[in-house]
Structure 1
């Protein structure tokens, strides 16, 4: 896959993920640069679903630090004990938040964000290397379909890097 992304226009979210997964695998499987792969994954998700904000926070020393993203300006650093990203990092599990205003300790980088899903990405030793953070400007925008699709995509990503 070069610069073309096929996104079915009259499909369910599951069908869109099913269409994107092999395309993302083709896109990142031959690229060894992690930042390039992160940037392309973010672009694919933003283009395919039109999410409000999509990006990665990478573990650096004792914080999560902003990596490639698309959307409005974002928080640059997140402590492991703060927000949805920190919670995902600590629990090592995908977190779906239907209403960010009801999540204790939510970090409001943008007041337009209404719901969120955060997926952990593990390194070759099994430690959380980064998290994928996806925000929507709609309440309750994420489901098990998103969890399944994004987790599959992050498993593909994990195979491409040795952070």
Structure 2
């Protein structure tokens, strides 16, 4: 994984003065896809409080599930509990939602802005156990910066 400080600097450069959240999240998805190895899907699910669900946002990768109820699958569980979830083997996660059969491990980080759920960052890998503690910590730091600079 590239140095997190470099990714954060690139993140800030991309988003400074830009105010369209969808365009910004699209660029952030591309930034992560281009800089992280052994990832086959990266993107965002955004929280819709009226429907109490996550809705597919900008992403890089194969087609994905469009709606995820809170508490369902890795993304919905992460959002509901507002905690990062790393799954070394998705087949072992009870209630796993299989959008892409090539995904073997998954990392989901909730995005909390102004004490409210904004959405989640979701990353899939074709390798079991892809997300080690160093990667998780770095991406959590990246997400903390993201929620500070995104409108």
TM-score relative to the length of structure 2:
0.92
Q: Which has the higher mean CA deviation after the structures are superposed, 45-54 or 112-121?
A: 45-54
Task: Specify the alignment match of 1:88 in structure 2.
Answer: 78
- Residues 38-117 of structure 1: pairs in structure 2 closer than 5 A: 38-50=25-37, 51-60=39-48, 61=50, 62-117=52-107
The answer for unaligned runs of 5 or more in structure 2 is: none
Q: Quick one: distance in 2 between partners of 1:19 and 1:85? A: 27
Q: CA deviation at 1:139?
A: 0.5
Q: Quick one: distance in 2 between partners of 1:55 and 1:23? A: 17
Task: Specify the alignment match of 1:144 in structure 2.
Answer: 133
Q: CA deviation at 1:158?
A: 1.1
Q: CA deviation at 1:16?
A: 3.3
Q: Is the 8 A contact 1:32 1:160 kept in 2?
A: no
Task: Specify the alignment match of 1:159 in structure 2.
Answer: 148
Q: Which one has a bigger Cα radius of gyration? A: 1
Q: Quick one: distance in 1 between partners of 2:123 and 2:102? A: 13
Paired residues, what number?
148
Judged with a 3 Å threshold, the aligned counterparts in structure 2 of structure 1 residues 26 and 118 are, in CA distance, closer, same or farther, namely same
Calculate the aligned-residue CA RMSD, in Å: 1.3
Q: Which has the higher mean CA deviation after the structures are superposed, 44-53 or 94-103?
A: 44-53
Q: CA deviation at 1:144?
A: 1.5
Q: Secondary structure at the match of 2:3?
A: helix
CA deviation vs aligned residue, 1:36-90 (integer Å, no higher than 9, x gap): 2111110011011141000100011211000000100000000112100011011
The answer for unaligned runs of 5 or more in structure 1 is: 1-12
Q: Is the 8 A contact 1:114 1:136 kept in 2?
A: yes
